[in-house]
């Protein structure tokens, strides 16, 4: 009996000693820890690929038949050809210097991923453990290379603004970055380019502030502008400065341009300025007067008189005038022969073509009324006398010139 008791004590002592040794040097079971040893690139941009290296470290006894697996979830996916499960095999202990193993994966980041640190889910199992050990505390950093915000669209109302009037300018901004942008300042740089910009802000300054913009979002701002009364009609480019910060506190700035067209609808008056034609079956000249009563200048003005059975155009039927400034006029002359008629008037179909200061094409078609009189009516109104007086003046001048020319010839002949 005594021997049996000593035997039991001896076995227990040996068992406790072995357990102590195992606890001190090897641990009770394989004890694996997983960490990300490298991310390349770090950070990775949305839409790009990244290589993630996972470090498996064994702090317990030797682990056999270790299987490691990555469980990619949004925003990560495996690059085509990459296997989710990888056999690691044996992971030793610190005693044999083989307690660390590196497992690498190629992952693709979703294009619409916002900036931030994202969890990557992995799990493993080894011989003797049927269940998977899942880890969710590992993270991969995603960061856009640049925070991009831009003027996506702008609209001026009205589309063509008259000098002295108001315009509402709407600017639509878009955040093309995948991160939050904040403290966005939009400044219209009025008067900072090579020429004076004839606009002044109304109701507020030329600066607007947007507190933040979500990734891939759009926001609009509105500014009311007053156009100088003496502003020239043309297209003006207005510089727009954008200053903003990203979620990491980095500051950015960039410049864009918006355009505002200054002009107006031309106001043209066309009429007969003067004429030497009063009767049928006579030849004379009419002077057409083109008046620019509008604010914008007229360019490339061309006047054309259409043919008719009522008259014959003796001069060129088309006259190029060129430019007519605002509040000014030019004339075009046409020489006509009026056919025989008992009508009291004939119509002259005239076409005036031109461009405004912004090269928009215009065409005005008018029918000018040329009154006709009988010989008695013309005489009664003093129109025939005017024509007759002019004829007599010409005859007198010719006679006087002939008389003095004859005397000089005769005098010269006498001396010879």
- pLDDT given for residue 8 in this prediction: 45
Is residue 163 in a domain?
yes
Is residue 9 in a domain?
no
> What is the average pLDDT across 242-249?
84
Is residue 396 in a domain?
no
> What is the average pLDDT across 65-86?
92
Q: Look up residue 377 and give its two tokens.
A: 């009516």
Whether residues 116 and 197 share a domain: the answer is: no
Is pLDDT at 388 greater than 50 in this prediction?
no
Non-local CB neighbours of 400 within 8 Å, separated by 6+ positions: none
Is pLDDT at 400 greater than 80 in this prediction?
no
Q: Quote the percentage of the chain above a pLDDT of 90.
A: 34
Is pLDDT at 313 greater than 90 in this prediction?
yes
- pLDDT given for residue 288 in this prediction: 94
Q: Quote the percentage of the chain above a pLDDT of 70.
A: 82
* 89 Rama sector, left if φ>0, alpha if ψ -120 to 50, beta otherwise: left
- pLDDT given for residue 321 in this prediction: 93
Is residue 398 in a domain?
no
Whether residues 238 and 284 share a domain: the answer is: no
DSSP 84: S
Whether residues 218 and 154 share a domain: the answer is: yes
- pLDDT given for residue 169 in this prediction: 92
Q: Read off the pLDDT band of 379 (50, 70, 90).
A: confident
> What is the average pLDDT across 335-352?
90
Whether residues 223 and 272 share a domain: the answer is: no
> What is the average pLDDT across 130-143?
79
- Kindly state the greatest CA–CA separation across the chain: 190
Most confident residue range from 124-138, 179-193, 348-362? 348-362
Q: How far is CA 173 from CA 48, 218, 248, in A?
A: 26, 5, 21
Is residue 416 in a domain?
no
- pLDDT given for residue 415 in this prediction: 59
- Does residue 93 contact residue 135 with C-beta atoms inside 8 Å? no
Q: Read off the pLDDT band of 82 (50, 70, 90).
A: very high
Whether residues 224 and 307 share a domain: the answer is: no
Phi, psi of 233 (to 5 degrees): -80, 110
- Check: pTM over 0.95? Answer yes or no: no
Question: Does 351 sit behind a cis peptide bond, omega within 30 degrees of 0 on the bond before it?
Answer: no
Whether residues 58 and 77 share a domain: the answer is: yes
> What is the average pLDDT across 70-81?
92
Q: How many whole angstroms separate alpha carbon 97 and alpha carbon 92?
A: 7
Is pLDDT at 3 greater than 90 in this prediction?
no
Is pLDDT at 319 greater than 90 in this prediction?
yes
Domain that holds residue 350: 268-380
Whether residues 101 and 180 share a domain: the answer is: no
- pLDDT given for residue 172 in this prediction: 93
- pLDDT given for residue 234 in this prediction: 86
Whether residues 353 and 374 share a domain: the answer is: yes
Is residue 230 in a domain?
yes
Whether residues 137 and 156 share a domain: the answer is: no
- pLDDT given for residue 24 in this prediction: 43
**Which residue would you say has higher pLDDT here, 132 or 152?**
152
- pLDDT given for residue 179 in this prediction: 77
Whether residues 173 and 251 share a domain: the answer is: yes
Q: Which of 142, 164, 189 is at the close of a domain?
A: 142
Q: How many whole angstroms separate alpha carbon 329 and alpha carbon 356?
A: 15
Q: Which of 124, 142, 160 is at the close of a domain?
A: 142
Q: Which of 109, 127, 142 is at the close of a domain?
A: 142
- pLDDT given for residue 393 in this prediction: 56
Helix, strand, coil percent content, the chain, rounded in steps of 5: 15, 50, 35
> What is the average pLDDT across 394-412?
65
- pLDDT given for residue 75 in this prediction: 92
Is residue 387 in a domain?
no
Whether residues 70 and 126 share a domain: the answer is: yes
Q: How many whole angstroms separate alpha carbon 149 and alpha carbon 185?
A: 11
Half-sphere CA count of 253, side-chain side, radius 13 A:
5
Q: What is the CATH number of the domain that holds 66?
A: 2.60.40.10
> What is the average pLDDT across 22-48?
75
Is residue 161 in a domain?
yes
- pLDDT given for residue 18 in this prediction: 42
Whether residues 194 and 276 share a domain: the answer is: no
Give the Cα-Cα-Cα angle 253, 254, 257 (nearest 5 degrees). Answer: 145
Domain count for the chain: 3
Q: From the CB of residue 95, how many other CB atoms can be counted at a distance below 10 Å?
A: 11
Is pLDDT at 383 greater than 80 in this prediction?
no
> What is the average pLDDT across 231-244?
88
- pLDDT given for residue 411 in this prediction: 61
When mean pLDDT is compared across 44-58, 316-330, 343-357, 368-382, the lowest value belongs to: 368-382
Is pLDDT at 413 greater than 50 in this prediction?
yes
Q: Read off the pLDDT band of 416 (50, 70, 90).
A: low
- pLDDT given for residue 409 in this prediction: 60
- Does residue 54 contact residue 102 with C-beta atoms inside 8 Å? yes
Q: Look up residue 116 and give its two tokens.
A: 């931030």
């Amino acid at each position: 009996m005594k021997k049996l008791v000593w035997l039991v004590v001896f076995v227990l002592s040996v068992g406790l000693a072995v357990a102590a040794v195992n606890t001190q040097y090897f641990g009770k079971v394989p004890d694996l820890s997983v960490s990300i040893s490298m991310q390349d690139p770090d950070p990775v941009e949305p839409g790009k690929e990244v290589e993630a290296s996972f470090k498996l470290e064994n702090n317990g006894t030797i682990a056999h038949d270790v299987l490691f697996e990555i469980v990619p979830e949004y925003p990560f996916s495996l690059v085509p050809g990459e296997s989710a499960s990888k056999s690691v095999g044996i992971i030793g202990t610190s005693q044999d210097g083989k307690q660390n193993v590196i497992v690498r994966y190629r992952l693709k980041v979703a294009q619409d991923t916002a900036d931030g640190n994202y969890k990557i889910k992995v799990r493993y199992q080894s011989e003797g453990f049927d269940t998977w050990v899942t880890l969710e505390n590992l993270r991969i950093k995603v960061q856009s290379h640049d925070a991009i915000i831009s003027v996506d669209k702008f609209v001026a109302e009205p589309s063509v603004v008259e000098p002295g009037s108001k315009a509402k300018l709407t600017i639509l901004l878009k955040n093309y970055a995948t991160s939050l942008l904040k403290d966005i300042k939009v400044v219209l740089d009025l008067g900072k380019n090579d020429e004076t910009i004839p606009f002044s802000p109304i109701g507020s300054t030329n600066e607007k502030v947007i507190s933040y913009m979500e990734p891939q979002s759009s926001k609009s701002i509105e500014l009311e502008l007053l156009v100088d009364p003496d502003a020239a009609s043309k297209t003006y480019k207005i510089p727009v400065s954008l200053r903003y910060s990203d979620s990491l506190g980095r500051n950015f700035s960039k410049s864009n341009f918006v355009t505002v067209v200054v002009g107006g609808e031309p106001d043209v008056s066309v009429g007969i300025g003067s004429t030497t034609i009063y009767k049928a079956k006579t030849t004379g000249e009419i002077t057409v007067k083109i008046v620019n009563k509008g604010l914008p200048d007229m360019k490339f003005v061309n006047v054309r008189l259409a043919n008719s059975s009522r008259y014959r155009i003796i001069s060129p039927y088309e006259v190029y005038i060129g430019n007519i400034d605002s509040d000014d006029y030019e004339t075009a002359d046409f020489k006509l022969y009026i056919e025989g008629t008992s009508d009291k008037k004939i119509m002259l179909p005239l076409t005036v073509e031109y461009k405004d200061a912004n090269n928009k094409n215009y065409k005005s078609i008018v029918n000018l009324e040329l009154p006709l009189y009988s010989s008695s009516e013309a005489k009664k109104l003093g129109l025939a006398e005017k024509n007759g007086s002019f004829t007599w003046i010409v005859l007198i001048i010719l006679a006087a010139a002939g008389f003095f020319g004859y005397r000089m010839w005769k005098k010269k002949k006498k001396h010879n």
